[in-house]
Structure 1
Amino acid sequence: MTPAPAVTAPATAAPATDARALTGKRRIAFASFVDENYLPGFLALLRSLALTNPGVCEDFIVLHDDLRPASVARIRALHPRVTFRRVDAGHYDSYVKGDQDNYLVRKAYFILDVFRIRDYDTVITLDTDMVVLGSIAELLSLREGLAAVPQFFYGQHKLNSGLLVIQKEYLTDEFCARIDEIGRSGAYELDKHDQGILNALLDGDFVRLDAKYNFVKRRLSGDLPVPDDTAILHFTGRHKPWQGGESGYEQAQERWREYRMSDADLQAAFVARGGSPHRDLLVHFGTPHVERTGDVDTARKVALAHIGNGDYQAAVDIMERVHIPVDEAWPHEVYGHALMSVSRYEEARAQLLLATAAPNRAATAFARLAQIAWVHGDDATARKYALQGLTVDPTHRAARIWHQRTLSMPEQAQGSPDQQLAHVAFYMDRQGNAGDKLLPESVRLAFDPDTTGRRWLSVHAHRLFDEAALERVNARRGLVIGGGGLFIPDTMPNGNSAWQWNVPDELLERIEVPIAVYAVGFNAFDGQSYRAVRFRESLRKLVERSAFFGLRNHGSIEKVRAMLPAHLHDKVRFQPCPTTVTRQLVADWRDPVTRDDTILINAAYDRAGLRFGHDYGYFLAQMAQAVRELGELAEVQCVAHSLDDERIAFDLRREHGISLPVIPMYDFGNDAIRELYARTKLVIGMRGHAGMIPFGCGTPIISLISHPKMAYFLRDIERPEWGVSVHDRNLAAVLVERSRELLADHAKTVADVHGRQQELWRITQANAAELRTVLGS
């Protein structure tokens, strides 16, 4: 692939509140112009794309001038994310053409409407006389320029416009104006239509792709076989396969006919594939297949896709449509998983017990049974099930986690109940996420220097809030809920609230003591959604019942207010995460006299698809370049908040030959976490608390933004330049440049961090004064 300089122009920016604008995550779409004559070819193209690239599911824009409703329905059946845009056909009537009266010639220009698309970063056009035969992953990873395959007959200077990979700098009014100028002047090869205009405009200035991505039929003259590495086969010329084809190309046309099938056959072929199909495609093709056949294994796959997408009720619904034989363990286990995720615990228990009969599913089923028992406060039963899971598989991680959780000594309330606050939080296990481990203590420090059971009653957010829990809470002087990103749907799903606190509405309404929601975050990723109705109802009740409702950034405030009736908006206010003011909260805090000559890097891998999209390989390569250059400034080390965070060290070593020391922060106590972050010079972190904790300790930070919350925090402290998207085209250069700037006068940078922190502390103190009135001192 040979790069060529790009034609640049300012692209349309996304709104400031748009998650994509904050994370910089690329939006990718396919596009084709489709009419009734070429509809059979387009349907074959969609089938081939699904079957050869089952892990790819981007938006597909259908440009058209007049498709019948039946044709629209046929297209929708073949892709879950198809959108239709009518072209401005009259716009192209002013173009000089070789044959003005030929309707096919007129329509050949309509694909140029693709350059009028403004809501995507990358658009891949595909002619409707193509079929996809192999992986197109490389096309999805392209990030610069306008890419195409050079024409077969004309050498490297001219492109074939059947496939174009267009980046956003070309999706502009300026570029469209240049297309119009050439089209209206006729200064191009008239018989090449849209392709002629583009070649006249670009004059060879395009990124050259391998011929396998637009392998034209003419290369196979004499009935040659299609090469095995062909990714996209293009049936150029007058004779199309759906019209009978052309003599001398039988083997090529046979490849096209592989994708001339019914919807039912496509669905069956798709669900029979192995590997890791895209969840949306699996739901789209698997659901009608289950409805038609009642196939249990397909229902299981579709249910797992729904669970992966956080749509637990849909997973229950698909499993309820099929009859599961008693000895089919895996479907029972998946059905049990779905049922427990919507809080139908007794039914879930029955399904999971059936699943324990099969050795290959037993450990997972026992671990889920342990989880259900633990959720209900039955540690003895949870321990029994966890041990049974470990007996089947001693390496089973989930069974081990639940076993350890039942062995840990819960915090004992030691003081008088009327002098205590109840505290709903996610209490992290040993070797759990370091940031979540620190959070409960940090929240308590904002209320009382004594963070022990003398002043606090711990209420684990993930345990079912039942009558006994209600009685314990109502015996205290108040209830604090926070901190952390509790407004997230999938860490420990339940059907009672659809967020992290497993509280039924009727029990929430019976809480008699004042409720303070403190520094909670709305933590949905870009592309992640809640079960809207249940979450909104629970959220509204919580806001109504709360005497204080503080969210940890203004981005979360905007999101939550949008889900509430207008009369509740003013109750939602700003309360910074207490980790960001650690220096003010920790008794006898001392800023370090000297710091280690280190730069700490943190990367997160939970929900990696939502974080990186198609850009992980790019991100890793950029981080490798950055680490090499940052090593000239200080020793670079990997700091792992959780076990999964160590992956960046493994991947850098395997892919780029770079070795980083790994600091297992998940093994640290709270004091050790704060001490390490206080004495380093700079932290480059992807997790929210790999930014907020070091900032709170007075240490300069740069955030690797893969989640909106990172940008929310930097916006709140008025330092957006301390963040860079993991998708940034110049990620390595930006990281190194900003690191140099922050380290050049380190004392000045630290003073700036302290100054930013002062405003957060002022707000925290003002809220504390109000909370003392609400909760009593």
Structure 2
Amino acid sequence: MGHGPGPERLRQRHEDLPEMKRRVAFASFVDENYLPGFLTLLRSLALSNPGVCEDFLVLHDELRPASVARIRALHPRVSFRRVNAAHYDTYAKGDQDNYLVRKAYFILDVFRIRDYDTVITLDTDMVVLGPIDELLTLRRGLGAVPQFFYGDTTRLLNSGLLVIQQEFLTDEFCARIDETGRSGAYELDKHDQGILNAVLDGDFLDLDAKYNFVKRRLSGDLPVPEDTAVLHFTGRHKPWQGGETGYAQAQERWAEYELTDAELHAAYLESEGELHRDLLIHYGTAHVRRTRDAGTARKVALAQIGRGDYQAAVDVLEQADLPVDEAWVHEVYGHALMSVSRYDEARAQLLLATAAPNRAATAFARLAQIAWVHGEDATARTYALEGLTVDPTHRASRLWHQRTTGVPQQQTGSPGDQLAHVAFYMDRQGNAGDKLLPESVRLAVGGAETGGRRWHSVHAHRLFDEAALERVNARRGLVIGGGGLFIPDTMPNGNSAWQWNVPDDLMRRIDVPVAVFAVGFNAFDGQSYRAERFRSSLRLLVEKSAFFGLRNHGSIEKVRAMLPAHLHDKVRFQPCPTTVTRQLVPGWQDPAAREDTILLNAAYDRAGLRFGHDYGFFLDQMAAAVRELGRLAEVKCVAHSLDDEKLAFDLRREHGISLPVIPMYDFDNPQILDLYARTKLVIGMRGHAGMIPFGCGTPVLSLISHPKMAYFLRDIERPEWGVSVHDRDLAARLVEKAGALLADHAASVADVHGRQQELWKITEANAAELRVLFGG
């Protein structure tokens, strides 16, 4: 077998990447006449499904600016798309005096959408009365409620609500629609519905009538059934026009959602159950601006913190009236302030929060964190102990107490013989991959000596102050590397807006050579940075660096897009050193024999960003996969962090499947490498549940819930080693791919070795350059 691609061929098109997440959108055609109905539809959707907020595509032929503003005020993720109205003028039509004879066809433009996997259409004469979560989980076909006929069993759909999957969002299906429309071979007075029924000929997925409950079912002023999820006001007489005699109870249900914006905001904030972060921020921010309510400001700030927008959290709290004796709001305010590096103000807020027993432990833990960030270990330990005194089970207080107890002093070699190393140094019981990274970087850059004699450790999360600058400038150089440091929400700070807490002024005053080595851009799709602060810090770092290497070409593309053109060439490829472990570890020996095991890893940090609406689907698919994989080898769950054990818990609870759990978070580095080298296959969701075993020479499959997984596979020209967690055939594809890798295991191992060799050539060349840079 060959040894894989050369460096210039380690770039592939984005089309090779598996889908990162399943994109779902709602869609409606809206014009000025139906605008009142659409506004009520949006209000009802938010109040009836407070945990749901997908993109909403507004198809239109023209809307006034004021109408656009009213729509935007009701939905934070609305997108306007103008239809090609002239396209539908070529269709054969029925009654030319019918107002709908032209515009009813415009909703068919939804089939021309290509940037979503699932689109749910809603007519603007609908009101949402109950949960529609089930519609969001549908994965196949075109779903609709059959038309309602008294005594007729004809199989026709009602097009008022459609759940459309990607196999229908195609040019081929659009051509079938056009052909039918132009030929007139459909029920002309049914417009778009007639065309779809002619094209589908009954081939659609039946949805329960509750999802498109037509008004005609209530003739005689019958009450709306309690389980109705979507009520559809079919016919000429619309609720916003006064309604129709004989449907008073239905009209009353619609009128429940004819609210002012202020009434909507207040009603949404009082909704039961979990509120969607985007809607909470959208409505809650306006409510705080109007009322200065502290409780709402706290909820909105927590939502902003949850999505990594810490300055916005500070901003909304600064607009509210904060009572001195409301501890929770002060704790959240302190959290937001420390996340933008306003540490003195944060301390004051957190000290106020310690007065309430139910918030004191968390407040003390945050005070410990601030002290630790400033290098004040004794103070941090005191605060952590205070937190444990209030609540002996408080995990964050316990972790800060452990971090600041018995801290080993760095071995001090001669500064002139040392390199300074900025990294995220993981605690005991921390993420296994992050434990291994700093040592791997040191092996790649400086050879076998990875201890304090040759290296001066600089924890990325501690404030880089004057004393730290002096220590770094006394060394031979500075290496920055050891993880996906370009991420906004791991130990956030306002100095750089990425993991290294370094003010610009101090970065400028570093006067030794700087090398950024195998750093990753680890933001999830849709995750936000403080864009300008991050861009400014990033640009300064690139300008300052003599070597700037990122660990995959996906990160390179992301970072270059944030830089001026003249800096693009400075951004280079340096694979994560864990991917070449066999070449780095002194005296490495490939295992003489491997255990007959498959190690399975899943990640649960930022679960909403990883799984969206699909966690139940993912778990079902993993249960099916584990049952089949068990025929190939023994399947074990390997937990890089404590949260990763959730996969084993959920499989046992939901599917009766028991897997052995390996607590890798308790392992030291040699134990991590030994385990991954001795197994036959690793199926992992974490980046380093793929890269570390690959570096040990073990075949891997990636469960892709983050772009970085696909970036790595693209770089080694093995995109087929990845399967999206949203893949509709996830279980079958995993089992098929695992079977192929295990069928000729020796060939699979040889393939890994060949791919690794190309990454090693790049790493060797870069390491040689760094030895020259650092003078030894």
Report the TM-score when normalising by structure 2: 0.97
Task: Find 1:430's aligned residue among 425, 428, 431.
Answer: 428
Distance in structure 2 (CA, Å) of the matches to 1:469 and 1:515: 15
Distance in structure 1 (CA, Å) of the matches to 2:366 and 2:218: 56
Change (3 A) 1:272 1:144: same
Task: Find 1:150's aligned residue among 146, 150, 153.
Answer: 146
Distance in structure 1 (CA, Å) of the matches to 2:277 and 2:153: 41
Distance in structure 1 (CA, Å) of the matches to 2:652 and 2:221: 47
Task: Find 2:131's aligned residue among 126, 131, 135.
Answer: 135
- Answer yes or no: is the 8 Å Cα contact 1:428–1:436 preserved in 2: yes
- The equivalent of 1:25 in structure 2 is 21
- The equivalent of 1:115 in structure 2 is 111
- Answer yes or no: is the 8 Å Cα contact 1:46–1:78 preserved in 2: yes
Opposite residue 144 of structure 1, the aligned amino acid is R
Question: Are 2:216 and 1:210 equivalent residues in the alignment?
Answer: no
- Answer yes or no: is the 8 Å Cα contact 2:682–2:699 preserved in 1: yes
- Answer yes or no: is the 8 Å Cα contact 1:424–1:482 preserved in 2: yes
- The equivalent of 2:674 in structure 1 is 675
What is the Cα deviation at residue 500 of structure 1? 0.3
Distance in structure 1 (CA, Å) of the matches to 2:655 and 2:225: 32
Distance in structure 2 (CA, Å) of the matches to 1:316 and 1:63: 36
The secondary structure found in structure 2 opposite 1:498 is coil
Q: Which moved more, 1:576-585 or 1:149-158?
A: 149-158
- The equivalent of 2:448 in structure 1 is 449
- The correspondence of residues 727-742 of structure 1 with structure 2, limited to 5 A, is 727-742=726-741
What is the Cα deviation at residue 51 of structure 1? 0.7
- Answer yes or no: is the 8 Å Cα contact 1:161–1:195 preserved in 2: yes
- The equivalent of 1:467 in structure 2 is 466
The secondary structure found in structure 2 opposite 1:600 is strand
What is the Cα deviation at residue 252 of structure 1? 1.6
Distance in structure 1 (CA, Å) of the matches to 2:346 and 2:16: 37
What is the Cα deviation at residue 24 of structure 1? 3.6
Change (3 A) 1:20 1:141: farther
Distance in structure 1 (CA, Å) of the matches to 2:567 and 2:68: 43
- Answer yes or no: is the 8 Å Cα contact 1:58–1:81 preserved in 2: yes
Please list the CA deviations of residues 525-551 of structure 1 after superposition, one character each: whole Å capped at 9, or x if unmatched: 111121111111111111111111111
- The equivalent of 2:86 in structure 1 is 90
Q: How big is the alpha-carbon RMSD for the aligned residues of Structure 1 and Structure 2?
A: 1.4
- The equivalent of 1:270 in structure 2 is 268
Opposite residue 422 of structure 1, the aligned amino acid is A
Change (3 A) 1:635 1:547: same
Q: Which moved more, 1:337-346 or 1:408-417?
A: 408-417
The secondary structure found in structure 2 opposite 1:538 is helix
- Answer yes or no: is the 8 Å Cα contact 2:24–2:55 preserved in 1: yes
Distance in structure 2 (CA, Å) of the matches to 1:274 and 1:408: 46
- Answer yes or no: is the 8 Å Cα contact 1:16–1:22 preserved in 2: no
- The equivalent of 1:766 in structure 2 is 765
Unaligned runs of 5+ in 1: 1-14
Change (3 A) 1:166 1:242: same
- The equivalent of 2:234 in structure 1 is 236
Question: Are 2:77 and 1:78 equivalent residues in the alignment?
Answer: no
Q: Percent identity?
A: 82
- The equivalent of 1:524 in structure 2 is 523
Question: Are 2:454 and 1:458 equivalent residues in the alignment?
Answer: no
- The equivalent of 1:333 in structure 2 is 331
What is the Cα deviation at residue 415 of structure 1? 1.2
The secondary structure found in structure 2 opposite 1:715 is helix
Q: Which moved more, 1:232-241 or 1:424-433?
A: 232-241
What is the Cα deviation at residue 16 of structure 1? 7.3
What is the Cα deviation at residue 170 of structure 1? 1.1
The secondary structure found in structure 2 opposite 1:480 is strand
The secondary structure found in structure 2 opposite 1:407 is coil
Opposite residue 108 of structure 1, the aligned amino acid is A
The secondary structure found in structure 2 opposite 1:473 is helix
- The correspondence of residues 208-357 of structure 1 with structure 2, limited to 5 A, is 208-357=206-355
Opposite residue 272 of structure 1, the aligned amino acid is E
What is the Cα deviation at residue 87 of structure 1? 1.8
Distance in structure 2 (CA, Å) of the matches to 1:306 and 1:692: 32
Opposite residue 650 of structure 2, the aligned amino acid is D
What is the Cα deviation at residue 171 of structure 1? 1.3
Distance in structure 2 (CA, Å) of the matches to 1:316 and 1:483: 30
Q: Which moved more, 1:26-35 or 1:683-692?
A: 26-35
- The correspondence of residues 417-566 of structure 1 with structure 2, limited to 5 A, is 417-446=415-444, 447-566=446-565
What is the Cα deviation at residue 411 of structure 1? 4.5
Distance in structure 2 (CA, Å) of the matches to 1:411 and 1:723: 42
The secondary structure found in structure 1 opposite 2:484 is strand
What is the Cα deviation at residue 19 of structure 1? 10
- Answer yes or no: is the 8 Å Cα contact 1:23–1:707 preserved in 2: no
Distance in structure 2 (CA, Å) of the matches to 1:189 and 1:156: 14
- Answer yes or no: is the 8 Å Cα contact 2:20–2:706 preserved in 1: no
Question: Are 2:50 and 1:51 equivalent residues in the alignment?
Answer: no
- The equivalent of 1:193 in structure 2 is 191
What is the Cα deviation at residue 523 of structure 1? 0.6
- Answer yes or no: is the 8 Å Cα contact 1:20–1:526 preserved in 2: no
- Answer yes or no: is the 8 Å Cα contact 1:17–1:555 preserved in 2: no
Please list the CA deviations of residues 431-452 of structure 1 after superposition, one character each: whole Å capped at 9, or x if unmatched: 0000001111111111121111
Distance in structure 2 (CA, Å) of the matches to 1:406 and 1:392: 19
Change (3 A) 1:360 1:187: same
Distance in structure 1 (CA, Å) of the matches to 2:509 and 2:565: 24
- Answer yes or no: is the 8 Å Cα contact 1:19–1:708 preserved in 2: no
Opposite residue 236 of structure 1, the aligned amino acid is T
Distance in structure 2 (CA, Å) of the matches to 1:408 and 1:169: 59
What is the Cα deviation at residue 81 of structure 1? 1.1
The secondary structure found in structure 2 opposite 1:385 is helix
Please list the CA deviations of residues 181-204 of structure 1 after superposition, one character each: whole Å capped at 9, or x if unmatched: 111221111121111111111010
- The equivalent of 1:9 in structure 2 is none
- Answer yes or no: is the 8 Å Cα contact 1:214–1:232 preserved in 2: yes
Distance in structure 2 (CA, Å) of the matches to 1:219 and 1:278: 33
The secondary structure found in structure 1 opposite 2:659 is coil
Opposite residue 594 of structure 2, the aligned amino acid is R
What is the Cα deviation at residue 408 of structure 1? 4.3
Change (3 A) 1:449 1:616: same
What is the Cα deviation at residue 95 of structure 1? 1.8
What is the Cα deviation at residue 521 of structure 1? 0.5
What is the Cα deviation at residue 416 of structure 1? 0.9
Opposite residue 256 of structure 1, the aligned amino acid is W
- The correspondence of residues 659-698 of structure 1 with structure 2, limited to 5 A, is 659-698=658-697
- Answer yes or no: is the 8 Å Cα contact 1:157–1:204 preserved in 2: yes
- The equivalent of 2:603 in structure 1 is 604
Question: Are 2:402 and 1:404 equivalent residues in the alignment?
Answer: yes
Distance in structure 2 (CA, Å) of the matches to 1:620 and 1:567: 47
Change (3 A) 1:21 1:278: farther
- Answer yes or no: is the 8 Å Cα contact 2:334–2:347 preserved in 1: yes
- The equivalent of 2:373 in structure 1 is 375
- The equivalent of 2:5 in structure 1 is none
Distance in structure 1 (CA, Å) of the matches to 2:288 and 2:15: 35
Distance in structure 2 (CA, Å) of the matches to 1:603 and 1:382: 33
Please list the CA deviations of residues 142-180 of structure 1 after superposition, one character each: whole Å capped at 9, or x if unmatched: 111111011111436111100001111111222112111
The secondary structure found in structure 1 opposite 2:458 is strand
Distance in structure 2 (CA, Å) of the matches to 1:155 and 1:298: 51
Distance in structure 2 (CA, Å) of the matches to 1:284 and 1:485: 30
- The equivalent of 2:8 in structure 1 is none
Distance in structure 1 (CA, Å) of the matches to 2:272 and 2:342: 31
What is the Cα deviation at residue 18 of structure 1? 5.9
- The correspondence of residues 576-615 of structure 1 with structure 2, limited to 5 A, is 576-615=575-614
- Answer yes or no: is the 8 Å Cα contact 1:411–1:453 preserved in 2: no
Opposite residue 591 of structure 1, the aligned amino acid is D
Distance in structure 2 (CA, Å) of the matches to 1:284 and 1:443: 43
What is the Cα deviation at residue 37 of structure 1? 1.6
Q: How many residues align?
A: 763
- Answer yes or no: is the 8 Å Cα contact 2:553–2:573 preserved in 1: yes
Report the TM-score when normalising by structure 1: 0.97
